[in-house]
Amino acid sequence: MDPETEFLSSKRQTGNEWELFKENVRPLKRGRNVDLLNHALKARTNDQLKKSLLENRRRLIEAIDEYQGDDPLQPWLDCIKWVQEAFPPGGDFSGLVLIYEQCVRAFWHSDHYKDDLRYLKVWLEYAEHCSDAEVIYCFLDANDIGKTHSAYYIAYALHMESKSKMKAANDILNLGISSNAQPIEKLRDAYKKFLARSMRRPNATEEELKEDDLPVRSFGTVLARGESQRQAIKTFELGRNKLKQDQVHRTPLSIYNDTNMDVTRGHHSKPNTGSNSWHTLGGRAERNKENNAMPAKWTSHKIPQRPVPRIVGAVASAQIEVFVDEECEEKPKVHDEKDRTSSLQLRELDGRNIKKETELLRENPLRNFPSNSLPR
């Protein structure tokens, strides 16, 4: 047994749990608190520690509603920071996406926080957890949120660049520079790096490939009318050229000649028989000798039965441990479907409903916003 396997089987307690589970820890730009990280990783195998983490999260959520100070955004930031530290994998079970969504929804109409860099960073972190963040950047643009900061233009341009929309990314960075977004030096440096990456890209950009700003061609998409005709002509030309090449290099087929075929009679000639070949097939009784045994009645034999007590349901074996996903371990609270709203409240961040609501927000991050706030 190697030393690592021996250590894992011994289940010894150390202060370096992050070394054993570091592949499951989501990195943070600001770094992590090692003590809180070790405590959080211990909770994976300790139910008591896991319960304490959930209780602490509940207290932070309640502190948001009970806050009476001049900066209502601060308790949200404290809660987000703690959840990022206490739930290192950052999965759906942490409820982080729900906290992001309800935080940005609580202050999107407040003029006091529209130019607050802390509030903008919450939006940008929320965008990183969504399947398509472009809708979030369009929302920020339509509602003038964070447009005085260079972080907005840099993140927006990087997202458009990841979608191969180079012209849109270039326009966004130029807009930020012309708007004098701060810090302007950071924005200009990001623009220089963007130009360097653009020069290294292939010459066939999206603007050269499509004239009417059509989406990039991918499997399962529908071609435009002109593009469909060009594709059909190209396919026809390739098929015709291949047919001509086959005709040029065609060679005559060789006809197979069966040496055992009797041409005059039209059937196979009788092969030469050796000394060990069959001269006779025998009689009917000899050919059917495997069917000579006569079947007997089975009613004279009885299978012994052992009395087994009747039990309801199957009994699980004690040796088999059933795997339970940690995102589904908590039991969901019972709620009346008639009284349930479309979005989860912060006080209900327990149970499997977290995962379901998180998946919905990943697909549509603005699903709970009023319709008049969405970009048109």
pLDDT in tens, 223-262: 555 555 666 676 667 766 766 666 656 666 778 777 665 5
Q: At residue 78, does pLDDT exceed 80?
A: yes
- Give me the amino acid identity at 16: N
Measured CA to CA in angstroms, residue 301 lies from 294, 296, 297, 298, 307 at distances of 17, 11, 8, 6, 19
> Which pLDDT score, from 0 to 100, does residue 225 have?
53
Please tell me whether residue 268 adopts helix, strand or coil conformation: strand
Domains along the sequence of the chain with CATH: 1-115 (1.25.40.430)
> Which pLDDT score, from 0 to 100, does residue 220 have?
47
pLDDT in tens, 158-173: 999 999 999 999 999 9
- At residue 211 the predicted structure's pLDDT band, cuts being 50, 70 and 90, is very low
Dihedral sign for Cα 364, 368, 374, 376, please: positive
> Which pLDDT score, from 0 to 100, does residue 353 have?
80
Q: Which of 149-153, 352-356, 363-367 has the lowest mean pLDDT?
A: 352-356
- Angle at the Cα of 89 (from 86 to 92), degrees rounded to 5? 95
Q: Is 202 exposed, middle or buried (0-12, 13-18, 19+ CB in 10 A)?
A: exposed
Q: Which one is predicted more confidently, 372 or 327? A: 372
Of 121, 40, 111, nearest to 76 by C-alpha is: 121
Tokens of 44: 């994976």
Can you tell me which residue has the tokens 């810090």?
Answer: 183
> Which pLDDT score, from 0 to 100, does residue 257 have?
75
